[in-house]
Amino acid sequence: MTRLLPPWLPLVLATLFWGLNTVIGRAVVGDIPPIAMSFWRWAIATLFVVPFALPTLVRQWSLVRAN
């Protein structure tokens, strides 16, 4: 299997997203209720993860249903 990304890139991206999360959270603390902020964080994260997870989920759907 070929590597699609250098191994350090996901580590850098995780740090970047974590930092952005802190900066954005502090910027909107008085404007957006905490539950709404939590919802939007998870919704955006889901949009990023679904394209990578969906093909595997579809291939292994029988295993998912069995468990």
Instruction: Show Cβ contacts of residue 57 under 8 Å, excluding neighbours closer than 6 positions.
Output: 64
* In-domain check, residue 30: yes
pLDDT along the chain (67 residues), means of 10: 78 93 90 92 92 92 92
Provide the domain limits for residue 61.
11-66
Instruction: Show Cβ contacts of residue 32 under 8 Å, excluding neighbours closer than 6 positions.
Output: 40
Q: How many domains does the chain have?
A: 1
CB distance 37 to 25 below 8 Å: yes
Tell me phi and psi for residue 19, to 5 degrees: -65, -45
**What per-residue confidence (pLDDT) applies to 58?**
93
* In-domain check, residue 33: yes
Report the distance separating Cα 41 and Cα 26, nearest Å: 14
**What per-residue confidence (pLDDT) applies to 2?**
58
* In-domain check, residue 32: yes
